[in-house]
């Protein structure tokens, strides 16, 4: 599973799934997911399965987060793009490969409750997209000099 290791100034490091808001040009949550995977991972995928909907109050409304499981078929980290990569003040968006369920232990994974969902449903999630262990290899990313190594999402579409 690929997660994003978020590093922001003056905040503890946390992990989250790739994703973001549904934009006006997105005709569905799956279209938003495809776009976000291209932007945040430089990736394409198939076998999309929605597996979780998370809602919570926000201001005068409600945030709805759609979570999907999918199989990555291509990954090109040099193709990552978007405002989060153009503005250094937004912090770092490093990719982290974890092997659930054990690899989730001790991670500060957001949103709250996602770790339990992934741990408790790991086998079913893998079967949902008929996954064998992935053969994707991530290129090394330069370390952030301000962060020591180790474990430390409006509308969210997550992969």
Higher pLDDT, 146 or 61: 61
Work out how many domains the chain is built from and give that number: 1
pLDDT, tens digit, 9 for 90 and up, residues 91-146: 999 999 999 999 999 999 999 999 999 999 998 998 888 754 455 445 445 554 44
Mean pLDDT of the chain, nearest integer:
84
Share above pLDDT 90 across residues of the chain, in percent, rounded to a whole number: 71
Q: Is the pLDDT of residue 148 over 70?
A: no
Q: Which domain holds residue 128?
A: 2-158
Q: Can you tell me the mean pLDDT for 77-91? A: 91
Nearest Cα neighbor of 47 from 136, 152, 132, 154 is: 132
pLDDT at residue number 126: 87
Q: What CATH number is attached to the domain comprising 41? A: 3.90.79
Give the tokens for residue 120: 């408790």
- Beta strand 43-58 with 19-20 is unpaired
102 CB-near residues (< 8 Å, 6+ apart): none
Burial (CB < 10 A; 0-12, 13-18, 19+), residue 155, is: middle
- Mean pLDDT of the 50-55 span: 94
- Taking alpha carbons only, the member of 20, 11, 103, 24 closest to residue 67 is 20
- pLDDT of 151 higher than 60: no
Q: What is the DSSP string of 61-126?
A: EEEEEEEEEEEEEEE-GGG--SHHHH-GGG-EEEEEE--TTGGGTT--EESTTHHHHHHHTHHHHH
For the chain, state the CA radius of gyration.
15
Query: Both tokens of residue 64?
Result: 């709805």
């Amino acid at each position: 599973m690929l997660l994003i290791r978020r590093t922001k100034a003056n905040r503890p490091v946390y992990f989250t799934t790739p994703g973001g808001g549904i934009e006006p040009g997105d005709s569905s949550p799956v279209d938003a997911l495809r776009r976000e995977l291209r932007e945040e991972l430089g990736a394409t995928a198939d076998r999309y399965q929605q597996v979780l909907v998370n809602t919570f109050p926000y201001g005068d409304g409600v945030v709805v987060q759609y979570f999907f499981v999918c199989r990555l078929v291509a990954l090109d980290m040099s193709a990552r793009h978007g405002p989060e990569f153009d503005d250094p003040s937004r912090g770092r968006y490093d990719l982290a490969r974890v092997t659930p369920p054990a690899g989730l232990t001790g991670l500060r994974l957001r949103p709250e409750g996602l770790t339990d969902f992934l741990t408790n449903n790991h086998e079913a999630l893998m079967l949902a997209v008929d996954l064998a262990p992935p053969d994707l290899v991530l290129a090394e990313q330069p370390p952030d000099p301000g962060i020591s190594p180790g474990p430390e999402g409006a509308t969210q579409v997550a992969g």
